[in-house]
Amino acid sequence: MHNVAMFIFVLLAILILVVFWQYILAGLGLWVLVLIMRAVINWTLADPKPNYPRKPVQTRPVPKSRPKPARELPAPEYLPRWTANRRLDAGREHAQWQEKFDNAAQ
């Protein structure tokens, strides 16, 4: 029984090879073409490795054991005040600018 199953398996493998031989050859040809193209690109277009020693990339310093205290917020007079009226004015200014821009484009 084992020999019969193996015989059927071998026959199916041969049948698949006979039916799809063109696709198999095309796939192998594409694979070889890709290998050749990668070799050509690496040989001609890729930057050569530098012959000087490269410096390591500078990373962020490791934090010290005692973190510094957080900075205080600026004085309230320094901060912009986005009140409802200021937002309305900003929206109106933008609408006026947009209208001028649209009119200039015509």
pLDDT for 45 equals 76
pLDDT for 25 equals 94
Q: Is the pLDDT of residue 94 over 70?
A: yes
Interacting residues of 79 by C-beta distance below 8 A, sequence separation 6+? 73
pLDDT for 61 equals 72
Interacting residues of 8 by C-beta distance below 8 A, sequence separation 6+? none
Minimal CA–CA distance to 90: which of 98, 102, 101, 78? Answer: 98
Whether the predicted model's global pTM rises above the 0.75 cut: no
Q: What is the pLDDT of residues 34-93, one digit of tens each?
A: 999 999 888 887 776 777 787 888 777 776 677 666 677 666 666 666 677 777 788 888
